[in-house]
Amino acid sequence: MQNFLRPSPMAAFTAALLFISTIFTTSNAHNITAILSKDPEFSTFNHYLTLTHLAPAINGKQTITVLAVDNDAMHDLTSKNLSISTVKNILSLHVLLDYYDTKKLHQITKGTTDVATMYQTTGAATGIAGHVNITVLRGGKVGFGAQDNDGTLPATYVKSIQEIPSNISVLQISQILPSASAEAPTPPPTEHNITDIMSKQGCKSFAETLAANPDAFDTFNGNLNGGLTVFCPADKAFNAFLPKFKNLTTVAKIALLEFHGIPVYQSKDMLKSSNGPMNTLATDRGGYDFDVQNDGDEITLKTKAVTAKIMDTIFDEVPDAIFTISKVLLPEELFKGKAQSPSPAPAPEPAAADGPQPPKKKGKKKDAPADDDSDSPADSPDDSADDNADDKNGAAVRFNGIFFMVLSLVLGFLLL
């Protein structure tokens, strides 16, 4: 009898793999789309959070409250024929940058408070616009109003939709909060000039190289509206890598550049709660993934050939984000991840590679220093050599540890 219930080793193995893949798959602390999709009453509101790219922005934030309205209340908004960027401003006024669940609403000091919203952080709001007034009214009702709405509180609390303490609270309110500022017509969003942003913030060399390779450049620009995160190597790292880059085939050049972008928006917070493989813009060539790993406050991107650290956020506006990274990301598909030479062997660097580049001719041929032939692509890049090896071993040990722990847990459970 028992035998019928005993799963085959294959099934156990599959289950273990499945379990492991959930652990190592990119995941956020919460998913507003999933929370709202449980109730069709909020389908319009939910749909517009996705359409305006507010959903990933909400998922990327911790300690947040979403004031949702039902489909009837959304109809009042959508029937106004507003542009999508205006709808975005209005809905971002419904995302409070603090955690308020039902209990906390009724514990507001002196019965009234002023809360900043996501609208306030868009740069479109001025003065008190972008703030919401929450006030406990007579009879225990709770009123909500935009602060730029003449002191009236037209919306009231209806019910709690979901509360995840300290992380996200989703509350239903009776209507959309009127706000002259948020409802003002907005100019259509301008396309971001990623080359310009990167050039001004320490990734000039990468930006120029990208712009000079139209196939890769088009891939990046083609993702701007749908979601794009760019990891641009700082000038020091990319300049040191340039001789190797120039040696790559045309196809490999495109793949290497595309390896520095992912086709989704990821804020720093989202990356922080991610661990595991990440597809890149080059992934459709087969492979070309890197691993995101977090250690405390540090976020690293790893391949078998390199470990790069995320340095700064230089752009973050849903659906796009740009981060500077410490090293050039070397895909395993191009750089075999040969055992790194123990010597730091920094590639010859152009003078003053550190600071902002003087407008120097970058096409100028290197005066072929003796160590040029040590520059085969399979070598470790610039300064990655020694600290890398340590990181990798540590990670491998941790990974194996978790792998076997999980495997034995699952097997143990299934064989009970």
Ligand X SMILES: *[C@@H]1O[C@H](CO)[C@@H](O)[C@H](O)[C@H]1NC(C)=O
- Closest separation between CB of residue 135 and ligand X, Å? 5
List 18, 38, 51, 114, residue binding ligand X (CB under 6 A): 114
Identify which of residues 2 and 109 has a Cβ nearer to ligand X in the complex.
109
Pick from 268, 273, 280: nearest CA to 313: 268
DSSP state of 51: H
Out of 14, 193, 343, 393, the only residue in the binding site for ligand X (CB under 6 A) is 193
Interface characters, 327-346, with ligand X (x: CB under 6 A): --------------------
Q: Considering the complex, what minimum distance in angstroms separates the CB of residue 133 from ligand X?
A: 4
Residue 101 binds ligand X (CB under 6 A):
no
Angle at 294 between CA 288 and CA 297, to 5 degrees: 135
Residue 362 Cβ vs ligand X, minimum distance, rounded to whole Å = 15
Q: Is 201 in the site for ligand X (CB under 6 A)?
A: no
Q: Judge whether 345 and 380 are in contact, CB under 8 Å.
A: yes
The nearest distance, CB 92 to ligand X, in angstroms, is: 19
**Is residue 28 involved in binding ligand X (CB under 6 A)?**
yes
Mapping DSSP to helix (H, G, I), strand (E, B) and coil, where does residue 64 land? strand
Q: 36 or 91, CB closer to ligand X?
A: 36
Among 86, 122, 179, 195, binds ligand X (CB under 6 A): 195
We find the least distance from the C-beta atom of residue 406 to ligand X, in angstroms, to be 19
CA quadruple 198, 204, 210, 213: dihedral positive or negative? positive
Which CB, 238 or 392, lies closer to ligand X? 238
Binds ligand X by CB under 6 A, chosen from 117, 133, 266, 303: 133
Shortest distance (Å) from residue 344 CB to ligand X: 17
Asked whether the beta carbons of 246 and 208 are under 8 A apart, the reply is no
Contact region for ligand X (CB under 6 A) — 240-248, 251-259, 284-292, 387-395? 240-248
Say if CB 271 and CB 317 are below 8 A apart.
no
The answer to whether 120 touches 153, Cβ cutoff 8 Å, is: no
What CA–CA distance (Å, rounded) separates 375 from 372? 6
- Find the shortest distance in angstroms from Cβ 287 to ligand X: 22
CA atoms of 152 and 39, how far apart (whole Å): 29
Instruction: Report if residue 199 touches ligand X, rule: CB under 6 A.
Output: yes
Residues in 368-407 that interact with ligand X by CB under 6 A: 372-373, 375-376
Whether 88 contacts 77, CB under 8 Å: no
Q: What is the DSSP string of 303-369?
A: -SS-EEEEEEEEEEETTEEEEEESS----TTTS--PPPPSS--PPPPPTT-SSSPPS--SSSPP---
Nearer to ligand X, 243 or 319 (CB): 243
Helices (H) and strands (E) in the chain, counts: 16, 14
37, 126, 343, 393: which one binds ligand X (CB under 6 A): 37
d(CA 320, CA 230): 8
Collapsing DSSP states into helix, strand and coil, what is residue 104?
Answer: helix
Q: Among 177, 160, 178, which Cα is nearest to 169's?
A: 160
Q: Tell me whether residue 247 or residue 393 sits nearer to ligand X (CB atom).
A: 247
The 159-178 site mask, x for binding ligand X (CB under 6 A), equals -----xxxx-----------
The least distance separating ligand X from the CB of residue 56, rounded to whole angstroms, comes to 7
Q: Does 33 bind ligand X (CB under 6 A)?
A: yes
Q: How many amino acids of this chain bind ligand X (CB under 6 A)?
A: 31
- Residues 52-81 close enough to bind ligand X by CB under 6 A: 59, 81
Is the distance from CB of 410 to CB of 19 less than 8 angstroms?
Answer: yes
Answer whether the bond into residue 319 is a cis peptide, omega within 30°: yes
Q: Which is nearer to ligand X, 244 or 260 (CB)?
A: 244
H-helix or E-strand containing 295? strand 289-295
Residue 112 lies near ligand X (rule: CB under 6 A): yes
Interaction residues for ligand X, span 255-314 (CB under 6 A): 273
Which residues would be at the binding site for ligand X (CB under 6 A)?
28-29, 31, 33-34, 37, 59, 81, 112-114, 133, 135, 151, 153, 164-167, 193, 195-196, 199, 243-244, 247, 273, 372-373, 375-376
